[in-house]
Amino acid sequence: MCLGASLEARAAGKKPGKFYVVGMGAAPDLITVRGLEVVKRADLFLLEEKSDLAVWGKWIGKKPVLYAPHLARVFYGTDPASLSDPAQRAWAEKNDALRKELVAKIRQAVAAGKIVAYLQWGDAMIYGNLYLLEMLPPEVPTEVVPGVGAFQAGSAALKRSTVFGWDTNAVILTMGDWPGRADTNEKLMAAGTSMVFYTMHIDYPTVFAQLARAYPADTPVAVVSFAGDPRSEKIVRSTVGAFLAEVDWAHLPAEAHTLFVGKFLTAGQARKDGVSHGKDWIRQQHGDDVPGAQSACEQR
């Protein structure tokens, strides 16, 4: 859509259209209020799978739907002509044509003043699909509405904040390694901090062999399946040293579970230094830890 088309739409009294990427949450009822408002106003939807229509159909109704298959991202960023293998080149050309077709339809709908919503499970900003958003020219109005993803929902299920690791202060979100990756998991593990693995295509024996070289055997781990869904959510706990032997990892639900690793699972918010290094800052910001001050209950 060119800027002129947008101005013409406004001059004609039409509201300008917009393309949204909406994180729908890790469970059907974890959509945010903002996301739900976009869904209600949308004129055209994009989904990855037809099965998504069964979950979100009550909001979509009979409005038109386009499908952007998950595999359409394969070879994104690769020039098909650069591929020597005929089968790969054909696949790359097919996906390139599909992506361009979808972008053209999105531009046409937005130019006509329509709201287009690309619905994605979890939070689209963590391993979601943004290639259509990236392919649109900058003059096309766009917005991303974040969702409650597996990381947030899984942490909530565990009732622990991953950044509190006793003697660490960060969390690494990652997934399985693949050829050519620079930040391999073994390099990330060297920090010894909390880790969360999105488990698509993960090789559990390899990952735990790596973890065993970087973490003590008694380091706690947990798998959260169907995070955020009270009907199906399940937590399995173990340790780095015992996981492969005591957990039926080969039969965990594919693409529906997340692996958490770190001392935060048992330490909670307790810190090795008791956060004593920050006492002056806490006193300055909150002023409620001065010796002799009334407690919150006493003040009431």
Find the CATH number of the domain harbouring 92.
Answer: 3.40.1010.10
Res 15: pLDDT: 77
182 belongs to a structural domain: yes
Q: What is the mean pLDDT of the chain?
A: 92
Residue 2 predicted with pLDDT over 50: no
Provide the 3-class DSSP secondary structure of residue 268: coil
* Furthest-apart CA atoms within the chain: distance in Å: 77
The rounded percent of the chain whose pLDDT value lies above 70 is: 90
Res 9: pLDDT: 53
The sheet that has 234-239: what strands, in order across it? Answer: 171-175, 194-198, 257-261, 220-225, 234-239
297 belongs to a structural domain: no
Tell me the residue range of the domain where 212 lies. 151-267
Res 4: pLDDT: 47
Provide the 3-class DSSP secondary structure of residue 271: coil
Res 300: pLDDT: 53
Res 296: pLDDT: 52
Top-confidence residue, 14 or 4: 14
pLDDT tens digits for range 134-157? 999 999 999 999 999 999 999 999
Res 295: pLDDT: 53
Top-confidence residue, 286 or 216: 216
Find the CATH number of the domain harbouring 224.
Answer: 3.30.950.10
- Of residues 6, 22, 38, the one with CA closest to residue 132: 22
Rounded Cα–Cα distance for residues 134 and 21 (Å): 11
Phi (first) and psi of residue 274, to 5 degrees: 60, 20
Phi (first) and psi of residue 135, to 5 degrees: -80, -20
Residue 3 predicted with pLDDT over 70: no
Count of the separate structural domains present in the chain: 2
Residue 279 predicted with pLDDT over 80: no
162 and 249, same structural domain? Answer: yes
pLDDT tens digits for range 121-130? 999 999 999 9
Tokens (6 digits) for 257? 């579970």
177 belongs to a structural domain: yes
pLDDT tens digits for range 87-112? 999 999 999 999 999 999 999 999 99
Partners of 143 in the β-ladder: 20
Alpha helix positions (H), the chain: 3-11, 33-41, 51-60, 86-111, 131-135, 150-158, 185-189, 204-214, 243-246, 264-267, 279-286, 296-299
77 and 103, same structural domain? Answer: yes
